[in-house]
Amino acid sequence: MRDLSNHEKNEAAKLNKQVDKLNNDMNNLQKDKERLEGEVTQLQEKMIDLQEQVGVKDQDFFVCLVLILPFSCHFADFLLNSG
């Protein structure tokens, strides 16, 4: 009976350790996600500034960039969450 109780305590300690590690990993991934979203926002703003500076002659190219950048944010999010 005592062995069973000790075994359950050990299992509970292992599970608590795993939960702490997963919470830590989740917090780190959330910080990475926020950092990457900030970088995407900065890149989008820079792209708009550059477009205004040079005047986009090829509107299709600009539209492609506008469509690709948000997708890249989702792709980075996917990469972070797939680990």
Average pLDDT of the residues in 55-72: 64
Whether pTM > 0.85 for this model: the answer is: no
58 three-class SS: coil
Q: Tokens standing for 37?
A: 């979203």
Per-domain boundaries in the chain = 2-82
pLDDT, position 66: 66
Instruction: Label residue 46 by pLDDT band (50, 70, 90).
Output: confident
For the chain, strand residue ranges (E) read none
**CA pair distance 45, 32, nearest whole angstrom:** 20
If you compute the radius of gyration of the chain from its CA atoms, what whole number of angstroms results?
Answer: 23
Q: From the centroid of its chain, how far is CA 50?
A: 26
- What residue type is assigned to position 55 of the chain? G
